[in-house]
């Protein structure tokens, strides 16, 4: 099975991250802690690695893979345009448990699945994930579980499901929140909450200056 590498101490973390960085650059899959859950990730621009990620989860391209970034500025090159709503939510909740579905830049050479011109972006609030992302760039990352199974809150639980499909499991202890991110769709007209999660809908509504009920209506 893939190796579990500890990130508990600073020296261990540096060594473990070096191994994980090399694995991602080599087109391998890595499981990383985030603030919400543990995620399985690959270089977002490596089409074969993303295909391997979907295969590891036993999931088809009809479930496109989200992308995690290591800084606010990274999104400028990933989206077709930055709206005021996007900027407000990024400033309020990143890094953190809010994912944004936005129109992607049309020239991006990636294949995340059947995304229909959109991408789901998030900046996680976890030091290990952020260090990894800042070294390798945007990563395609999905919850580190088989499709339809329980998303893991530990590296050990992720390895029980994914086994040798993953090269490296970064272990930073239990996930801080243990809850999936809130997803807000900004790509199809007015903002809408697609999934309630780590960030309260009421808090999103407050930042956007609308009633929470407006975000929940179809």
More confident residue, 96 or 189: 96
pTM to 2 decimals? 0.95
Percentage of residues of the chain with pLDDT beyond 90: 91
Alpha helix (H) residue ranges in 58-196 = 84-93, 127-136, 155-162
HEC-encoded secondary structure of 110-141:
CCCCCCCCEEEEECCCCHHHHHHHHHHCCEEE
Q: Give me the domains of the chain, ranges plus CATH numbers.
A: 3-86+103-179 (3.90.870.10)
Per-residue pLDDT at 105: 95
The mean pLDDT value for 135-163 works out to 96
- For 4, 39, 138, the CA distances from 129, given in Å and listed in that order, are 15, 10, 11
pLDDT of 117 above 80: yes
Distance of CA 39 to the CA centre of its chain: 7
pLDDT of 136 above 70: yes
How far is Cα 88 from Cα 214, in angstroms, rounded to an integer? 17
Give the residue among 98, 126, 69, 62 at the shortest CA–CA distance from 196: 98
Instruction: Write the pLDDT tens digit of every residue in 204-215.
Output: 999 999 999 999
């Amino acid at each position: 099975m893939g190796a579990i590498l500890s990130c508990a101490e600073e020296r261990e973390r540096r060594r473990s991250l070096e191994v994980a960085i090399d694995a991602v650059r080599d087109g391998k899959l890595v499981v990383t802690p985030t603030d919400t859950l543990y995620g399985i990730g690959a270089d977002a621009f490596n089409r074969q690695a993303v295909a391997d990620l979907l295969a590891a989860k036993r999931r088809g391209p009809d479930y496109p893979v989200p992308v995690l970034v290591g800084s606010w500025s990274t999104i400028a090159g990933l989206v077709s345009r930055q709206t005021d709503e996007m900027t407000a939510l990024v400033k309020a909740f990143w890094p953190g448990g809010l994912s944004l579905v936005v129109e992607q830049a049309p020239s991006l050479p990636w294949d995340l699945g059947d995304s229909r011109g959109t991408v789901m972006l998030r900046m996680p609030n976890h030091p290990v994930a952020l260090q990894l992302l800042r070294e390798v760039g945007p990563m395609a990352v999905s919850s580190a579980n088989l499709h339809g199974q329980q998303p893991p809150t530990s590296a050990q639980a992720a390895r029980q499901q994914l086994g040798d499909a993953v090269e490296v499991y970064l272990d930073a202890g239990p996930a801080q929140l243990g809850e999936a991110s809130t997803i807000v769709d900004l790509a199809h007209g007015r903002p809408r909450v697609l999934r309630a999660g780590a960030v309260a809908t009421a808090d999103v509504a407050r930042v956007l200056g609308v009633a929470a009920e407006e975000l929940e209506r179809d």
